[in-house]
Amino acid sequence: MILLNADFFAMIFLVVYVGAIAVLFLFVVMMLNIKITEISENTLRYLPVGSLVGLIFLVEIVLVIQNDLIPGVSLASHGLDIDTYVVWTSKIEPLSNIAALGQVMYTLYFYYFLMGGCILLVAMIGAIVLTLHKGILTKRQDAIEQNYIDFQKTVYLVKKA
């Protein structure tokens, strides 16, 4: 694809396949030993906090969807009038596909790009929290306890008779 000067498609293929492998590891390998009984016991305990967070997200989505809060959509915010004729060919800069895509993504659609990254981060943390088993039989390290061990008492010589 790069040799054919289709570097955008090469980048998209790479991102899609790496993302698919990441989703495979995250949701298949980590969720193999999930226990439904532990989840169903604690569902109602987190309902008030979850509904509060959901309500906050709903209010934020409603605020973002309003036209006056979306950056870059209004023509008046760019100093352009609807009746003004603009010669777009004089405004074109010679950029490669990736440079033009990056310029648009990181200027006009920066907030959407940032929100998408935050949503993916929250989804990844949620999947990790769901698969984290906190049982009695789970072995854990206590670093403070390990640092205060008296090594004179831990290693000793046993004589065979």
> Tell me, what's the pLDDT at 148?
83
User: What is the mean pLDDT, run by run of 10 residues, along the chain of 161 residues?
Assistant: 80 83 74 60 78 91 68 52 66 78 85 88 82 70 81 77 69
> Tell me, what's the pLDDT at 74?
53
> Tell me, what's the pLDDT at 32?
66
> Tell me, what's the pLDDT at 135?
67
> Tell me, what's the pLDDT at 102?
82
> Tell me, what's the pLDDT at 67?
57
Q: Per-domain residue ranges for the chain?
A: 7-134
> Tell me, what's the pLDDT at 52?
94
> Tell me, what's the pLDDT at 142?
80
> Tell me, what's the pLDDT at 133?
65
User: Residue 81: which residues within 8 A CB-CB, separation 6 or more?
Assistant: 75
